[in-house]
């Protein structure tokens, strides 16, 4: 334990100490703090919980690409680092990371925090689903992998247990390319009214696999299987993409709220979907490798 | 539960008493007497509390001061004492980029962090807008601010 071990605030320097702390008593996991500090202040998160600062654990940071093409992102990697990484070409997850908040919040905020906050409008979440990422949860009793699309159970809710820590985001190797786009009224410091991530794999000019994921269109980020299925087998010409993009409406169940009405969201979603698919296609044809 | 810690600000060490939830912003203002960083929204939206930690612009309303142990904090008082920060402050005055002044310390900190990571004259308007997007100004308007940052960016350093 580091010298910073004062009552109520702990900064373990390795994973096993960290998991022991989470096992011992209720704790708030502090990564970038851009959500947690506000949530503790307003009472959304109980202030009696210990703060367990995970930034002192080196294993939780960084972006690495294995020889087989598997991408691993440490949960405490900052959104800034992810947005500017050169380890992988731009994709739906890095597009999302680049859009969260402003410069200051991206410098502190982390991908793991963005995922565990589980906001339906979280900008990295549709990318996690579209990339078919696995989320690694660790506790003192072991480690489990949860597919991104099974991780979210409601606004602010996930399958993570209180004694578990999201340690790594694991993106399987793919020869595809992806992109994320959102609609907002301001370019920065705004939350997605709706967002769409698209992932495409192309062989001999034909789409052989696709995933489309929606943000702020349901209680959690969701995959839109009808849209994805409609892309597979096509040459991704304009008519096929347009038709597939319309099918996101089979999945979208958006709400009326301060950022937009249900009707407005349903109007914007297919347009965004078409554009996101278009960018993913450009990237795929430009030789996006991984 | 309070503890004592050493907070390094503008090159000086401050031995201060803190609680787990003490914000960096409050420690700077009430323990160190540095009132340049302002409490605006308290939720990381307005950027008035921006300082740098190890050179990176951050919102001091979104950080616990305990997270800063072992790190180096700079505030507007520190950066404008000389060097490029003093030039930035002077360009803000010359360009009429300061009206009520509440947002200025935060914007100057974001500007200094930007200039520290770019070569003289290399910051594009897009770079400047990206760096300052987390700092709101409700009275000056952004064009004089953009102008001031452009000029400061061109200064030798």
**Does the beta-carbon distance from A105 to B44 stay under 8 Å?**
yes
Between CA A139 and CA A92 the distance in angstroms is: 29
- Residues with Cβ within 8 Å of B141's Cβ and at least 6 positions away in sequence, in order, are none
Give the β-pairing of A142-147 and A134-139: antiparallel
What are A119-154's pLDDT values in tens digits?
A: 999 999 999 999 999 999 999 999 999 999 999 999
Model-level pTM?
0.95
Distance CA A86, CA A94 (A): 10
Cα–Cα distance between A172 and A258 in angstroms, integer?
37
Residue A100 to residue A254: CA distance in whole angstroms: 21
Min Cα–Cα distance to chain B from A262, Å: 26
Percent of chain A with pLDDT over 70: 96
Residue with tokens 């998991």: A19
Work out whether strand A50-53 and strand A9-10 pair parallel, antiparallel, or are unpaired.
parallel
Structural contact between residues A251 and A265, judged by C-beta atoms closer than 8 angstroms: no
- What is the ipTM metric for this complex? 0.95
Chain segment A171-197, per-residue pLDDT in tens: 999 999 999 999 999 888 899 999 999
3-state secondary structure of A264: helix
Strand-pairing partners, residue A27, are A50
Q: Closest Cα of chain A to B91: distance in Å?
A: 22
Mark residue B55 as left, alpha or beta (left: phi above 0; alpha: psi -120 to 50; beta: remaining).
left
Contacts with A34 from chain B: Cβ below 8 Å: 44, 59, 62
Residues of A in contact with B135 (CB under 8 A): 102
pLDDT tens for chain B, 157 residues: list them.
788 999 999 999 999 999 999 999 999 999 999 999 999 999 999 999 999 999 999 999 999 999 999 999 999 999 999 999 999 999 999 999 999 999 999 999 999 999 999 999 999 999 999 999 999 999 999 999 999 999 999 988 7
**Å between A76 CA and nearest CA of chain B:** 14
Report pLDDT digits (tens) over A157-172: 999 999 999 999 999 9
Long-range CB pairs of A23-27, under 8 A, 24+ apart, other chains included? A23/A139, A23/A140, A23/A163, A25/A50, A26/A50, A26/A162, A27/A51, A27/A52, A27/A162
Whether the per-residue pLDDT at A3 is higher than 50: the answer is no
Closest CA to A127 of A86, A71, A87: A71
Q: Chain B residues with CB inside 8 Å of A117's CB?
A: none
Out of A4, A38, A103, the one facing B134 most closely (by C-beta) is A103
- Chain A: residue whose CA lies nearest to B114: A103
CA distance A184 to B132: 18
What is the C-alpha separation between A166 and A185, in angstroms, rounded?
32
The reply to whether A104 touches chain B by the CB within 8 Å rule is yes
Report yes or no: A147 and A241 within 8 Å, Cβ to Cβ: no
Task: Take residue A5 and report the two structure tokens written for it.
Answer: 């071990």
* Residues of chain A positioned with their CB less than 8 A from the CB of B58: 104, 107-108
SS (H, E, C) chain B: CCEEEEEEECCEEEEEEECCCCEHHHHHHHHCCCCCCCCCCCCCCCCCCEEEECCEEEEHHHCEHHHHCCCEEECHHHHCCCHHHHHHHHHHHHCCCCCCCCCHHHHHHHHHHHHHCCCCCCCCHHHHHHHHCCCCCCCCCHHHHHHHHHHHHHCCC
Which A-chain residues 135-164 have CB contacts (< 8 A) with chain B?
Answer: none
Q: Cα distance from B21 to chain A (closest Cα, Å)?
A: 8
Residue B120 and residue B140 in contact, taking contact as beta carbons nearer than 8 Å: no
Instruction: Please report how the helices B83-94 and B142-154 are oriented relative to each other, as an axis angle in degrees rounded to 10.
Output: 140
What are A14's two structure tokens?
Answer: 């390795």
Provide the β-strand partners of residue B87.
Answer: none
In chain A, beta strands by DSSP E: 9-10, 27-30, 50-53, 63-65, 71-74, 134-139, 142-147, 152-154, 157-158, 165-171, 177-183, 194-203, 206-215, 222-223
Residues of chain A neighbouring B134 (CB-CB closer than 8 A): 101-105, 188-189
């Amino acid at each position: 334990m580091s010298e910073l071990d004062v009552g109520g605030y702990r900064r373990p320097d390795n994973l096993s100490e960290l998991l022991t702390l989470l096992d011992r008593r209720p704790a708030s996991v502090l990564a970038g703090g851009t959500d947690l500090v506000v949530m503790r202040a307003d009472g959304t998160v109980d202030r009696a919980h210990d703060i367990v600062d995970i930034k002192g654990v080196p294993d939780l940071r960084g972006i690495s690409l294995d020889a087989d093409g598997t991408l691993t992102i440490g949960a405490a990697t900052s959104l800034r680092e992810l947005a500017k990484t050169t380890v992988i070409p731009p994709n739906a997850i890095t597009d999302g990371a680049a859009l969260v908040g402003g410069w200051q919040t991206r410098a502190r905020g982390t991908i793991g925090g963005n995922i565990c906050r589980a906001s339906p409008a979280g900008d990295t979440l549709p990318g996690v689903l579209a990339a078919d990422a696995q989320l690694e949860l660790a506790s003192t009793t072991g480690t489990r992998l949860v597919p991104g699309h099974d991780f979210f159970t409601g606004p602010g809710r996930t399958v993570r247990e209180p004694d578990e820590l999201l340690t790594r985001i694991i993106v399987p190797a793919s020869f595809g390319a992806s992109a994320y786009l959102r609609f907002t009224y301001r370019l920065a410091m705004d939350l997605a009214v709706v967002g769409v991530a698209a992932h495409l794999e192309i062989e001999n000019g034909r789409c052989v696999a696709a995933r489309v994921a929606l943000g702020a269109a349901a209680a959690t980020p969701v995959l839109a299987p009808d849209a994805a299925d409609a892309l597979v087998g096509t040459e991704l010409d304009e008519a096929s993409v347009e038709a597939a993009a319309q099918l996101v409406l089979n999945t979208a169940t958006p709400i009326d709220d301060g950022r937009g009405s249900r009707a407005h969201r349903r109007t914007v979603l297919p347009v965004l979907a078409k554009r996101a698919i278009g960018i993913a296609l450009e990237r795929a044809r430009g030789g996006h490798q991984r | 539960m309070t503890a004592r810690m050493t907070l390094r600000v503008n090159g000086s060490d401050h031995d201060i008493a803190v609680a787990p939830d003490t914000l960096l912003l409050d420690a700077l203002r009430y323990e160190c007497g540095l009132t340049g960083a302002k409490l605006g929204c308290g939720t990381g939206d307005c950027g008035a509390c921006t300082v740098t930690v190890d050179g990176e612009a951050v919102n001091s309303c979104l950080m616990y001061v305990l997270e800063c142990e072992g790190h180096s904090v700079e505030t507007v008082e520190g950066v404008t004492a000389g060097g490029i920060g003093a030039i930035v402050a002077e360009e803000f005055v010359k360009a009429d980029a300061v009206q009520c002044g509440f947002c200025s310390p935060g914007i100057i900190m974001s500007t200094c962090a930007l200039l520290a990571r770019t070569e003289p004259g290399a910051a594009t308007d897009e770079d400047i807008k990206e760096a300052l997007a987390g700092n709101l100004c409700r009275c000056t308007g952004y064009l004089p601010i953009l102008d001031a940052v452009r000029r400061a960016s061109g200064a030798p350093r």
